[in-house]
Structure 1
Amino acid sequence: MTTTNEIADKIAAEQNLTKAQAKTIVESVFKQITDAALAGSETSIPAFGKFKLKDTPEREGRNPATGATIKVAASRKLTFQPAKALKDTLNK
C-alpha cells in the first residue's frame, strides 16, 4: 500500500522540494478531484485515467445471515476509469 506521505516523499525527492511542500501539492490535487466530483464534473488526467461521480439508486438487497429483504439506500460514489496508456503499461 502506498500512502499520501510516501507519494509526497517521492515527489519531494524527484522535484527537489521539501516534504511539506510536496505533501501540500499532493493534498491539493486530491482536493481538486474531490471538488470537481462534488460539482458533478469529471476529472481527466491524460495517460492516467478519469475520475467521475456515479449515482447509484436505492435498491433491494438481502441480509446474507437471515435472508430478509432490506432496502439499500441510494448513494454516490467516485469511480475511476484507467486510460488505455495506463492499462497497457500495467499489462506489459
Structure 2
Amino acid sequence: MNTSDLIEQIANTTRRPKTEVKDILDAALDAIVDAAKKDEDVTLTGFGKFSVRHLAARKERNPATGESIEIAASRKLAFTAGKGVKNALVLPKTPAKRAAAAKKAPARKRS
C-alpha cells in the first residue's frame, strides 16, 4: 500500500474528500518528524511508538577493498509496534497437525 492508496482508503472510510485527508495525513507525519528532530517520542496508544535511536560512531570495513572506514554517529527514527498491532498480527494456531497425529492408529504389538 502506498500513500495514495492509504489516502483513498481513509477517504472512503471517513467519507471525506481526498484533499482533506491528504492534508491531515501530511500534518500528522510532519508532527512526527518535528518531534523526532527534538528527540521526542510520539506514542499512539494501541498502535505504537516512534522514537529516535542514536547510533554511535564506529569503524567498518569496505567489502570491496577491505579498507577500514569511519562511519559517523547518526540518528534514526524507529517504530515499535504497540499491543493492539502485535495482537492483530498474531497468526492463528493450526491444530491440524496435532489432530492428525492423534487420529493415527496405535502401533500393533509384535508377538
TM-score range, shorter chain: over 0.9
In the comparison of the two structures, how many residue pairs are matched? Answer: 91
Q: Taking every aligned residue pair, what percent have the same amino acid on both sides?
A: 35
Which structure's CA Rg is the greater one?
A: 2
CA positional deviation for 1:88: 1.7
CA positional deviation for 1:84: 2.0
Cα RMSD (Å)? 0.9
Give ranges in structure 2 of 5+ residues lacking alignment: 92-111
CA positional deviation for 1:36: 0.8
User: 2:43 matched to 1:56?
Assistant: no
Cα pair 1:53 1:76 within 8 Å, conserved? yes
User: What are the within-5 Å matches in structure 2 for residues 72-83 of structure 1?
Assistant: 72-83=71-82
Q: TM-score by structure 2 length?
A: 0.78
Q: TM-score by structure 1 length?
A: 0.93
Structure 1 consecutive aligned stretches of length 4 or more whose deviation exceeds 4 Å: none
Q: Considering Cα pairs closer than 8 Å and 6+ residues apart, tell me whether 1 or 2 has the greater RCO.
A: 1
Give ranges in structure 1 of 5+ residues lacking alignment: none
